[in-house]
Amino acid sequence: MGAPVGDGDAERRLAAEAQYAATPPLHPFVHEAAPPPPKVQLPDRGSVVRGVGLGAVAVAAFAAAVVTVQRLGWLASPIAGVLGISGLLAGWAAAIHLTGGEKFDDHPWV
């Protein structure tokens, strides 16, 4: 049979388990999460102006797509498709600008 386990072995095993279960130190580039943003955050004046301008471009592009199909028929559908996609993207950009922009990272200094 094997040798009886002494108190020294038990203490050493407990110390090894405690060291294994301990959390490692944080990496120097790991940071705490940024605090939550305020609930109501109004966009700045420049974003509102850009958003309204992009909204106008979106409406104009959709209107141009409809008018193109009405006047030139369905043979002009590729042109209307490009105008429609342009209007969709401009509308998306307008929504981003009018709602305060997009947050790209959680760093407090970005």
Asked if residue 71 belongs to a domain, the reply is yes
Q: Is the model more confident about 99 or about 82?
A: 82
Name the region of 77 (left: φ>0; alpha: ψ -120 to 50; beta: rest): alpha
pLDDT tens for 21-72 read 655 556 666 666 667 767 777 788 988 999 999 999 999 999 999 999 999 9
Number of domains in the chain: 1
Asked if residue 17 belongs to a domain, the reply is yes
Residue 74 has a pLDDT of: 86
Asked if residue 103 belongs to a domain, the reply is no
Q: Which domain holds residue 92?
A: 7-30+43-98
Residues 6+ apart with CB under 8 A from 58: 87, 88, 90, 91, 94
Distance CA 45, CA 48 (A): 5
Asked if residue 57 belongs to a domain, the reply is yes
CB 66 within 8 A of CB 88: no
Asked if residue 105 belongs to a domain, the reply is no
User: Cα-flanking dihedrals φ and ψ of residue 15, to 5°?
Assistant: -65, -40
Asked if residue 106 belongs to a domain, the reply is no
Distance CA 18, CA 95 (A): 53
* The model's pTM: 0.58
